Amino acid sequence: MKNLRAYSDQLAISLSLLCTIHCLAVPVLLVALPSLASLRLDNEAFHIWMIIAVLPISLYALTLGCKKHKRYRVVAFGCAGLVFLVAAILGEDLFGEAGEKSLTVIGSALLIWGHIQNYRLCREHENCDCPEHSADSAK
């Protein structure tokens, strides 16, 4: 179970980084190489599929981690990041292109920070000798 939780944190971090890189790099690539415009790299479907992938993975990793380390602030940061990412997709017409990019970058940063903290705290918890951990390893 611990490997699946750790991998889900790592996967969520990777997906959030990919989303941020896509968000920041596509406009630069389209200006530098206009022929890439025919590939539809700015397609909104990418954002929707990323959210479909990131939401369950992030919620799974953050809630399992919170059960271990009991740091609700980490879950709150991760969930805030998810809210920003969803708002970026749903509010594109409301916030415009710059607002969407800002929400995506802020959301990704919050989510990445949450997963890094979750991963770190879970690793610390696995190496501690607290009574809760001793009971878990006896099962």
Structure tokens that stand for 48 in this block? 């929707």
pTM above 0.85, yes or no: no
Q: Which residues of the chain have pLDDT under 50?
A: 131, 133-139
Angle at alpha carbon of residue 135, lines to 132 and 138, rounded to 5°: 150
> Residue 86: what pLDDT?
92
Q: In angstroms, what CA-CA distances link 16 with 76, 77, 89? A: 17, 14, 14
Query: What b/e readout covers 109-135, taking b as 16+ CB neighbours within 10 angstroms?
Result: ebbbbbbebbbebbeebeeeeeeeeee
> Residue 137: what pLDDT?
46
